[in-house]
Structure 1
């Protein structure tokens, strides 16, 4: 069988999901090895997912969601325009929890000013 007649193992959706996984992993400050450890896979497999070389199974998507502390729908939302938007109540709860951890009153005030400025746009 000629190489060009084979069905590709991955496509644009796989690449987009991989980019989302990489972006979230980096946001959390995790190495590929650390994420792989949480998932029970090698860093090479994480690398293949991130590059879109291998497709992410449904069960692995659930594991990734847990490991990356991001709902499955939010992982998929960036790559699937038909996916429902992230839950605003969940986002608000996460934002409030993070805001409560900011110790500096000046930083809290600056963040509040920023958010209020964004709302007025």
Structure 2
């Protein structure tokens, strides 16, 4: 049987989910090894998930959700990483992850001032 006619181990959804996992892992500043440690798997397995080479089981999806601080539905919903999140909790998680990467105390203070000004209107 030719390789082209075999059923692929993964498909477009697996690849898109892998991209979402990679994006979130990077947002949180985690290495593949660190994420693998949280999940009890090797960095190679994380790499296979991220590349869409291996499918993510339901139980692993739950573990990933916890390790990445992102609800399962957000990992699966609208897998396009450029799409804005629908879940306010996920938006908060994204904001917190991004804010925590800002090194300058002055910029952090300015952002907090801006947000305070926005919520008072």
Shorter-chain TM-score tier: 0.7 to 0.9
Could you give the per-residue CA deviations for residues 64-103 of structure 1, whole angstroms, max 9, x where no partner exists?
A: 00000111111112317xxxx6332x2576558x97xx99
- The number of residues matched between the two structures is 110
Distance 1:79 1:61 in 2: 14
Structure with larger RCO (C-alpha < 8 A, sep 6+) = 2
Could you give the per-residue CA deviations for residues 32-52 of structure 1, whole angstroms, max 9, x where no partner exists?
A: 111001001111000000000
* Structure 2: stretches of 5+ with no match in the other structure: none
CA RMSD, Structure 1 to Structure 2 (Å): 3.2
* Structure 1: stretches of 5+ with no match in the other structure: none
State the TM-score, normalized to the length of structure 2: 0.73
Distance 1:7 1:115 in 2: 54
- Show the 5 A alignment for 1:1-121: 1-79=1-79, 86-88=86-88, 90-91=89-90, 94=93, 104=105, 107-113=108-114
State the TM-score, normalized to the length of structure 1: 0.73
After TM superposition, the runs of 4+ consecutive aligned structure 1 residues lying more than 4 A away are 91-96, 102-106, 114-117
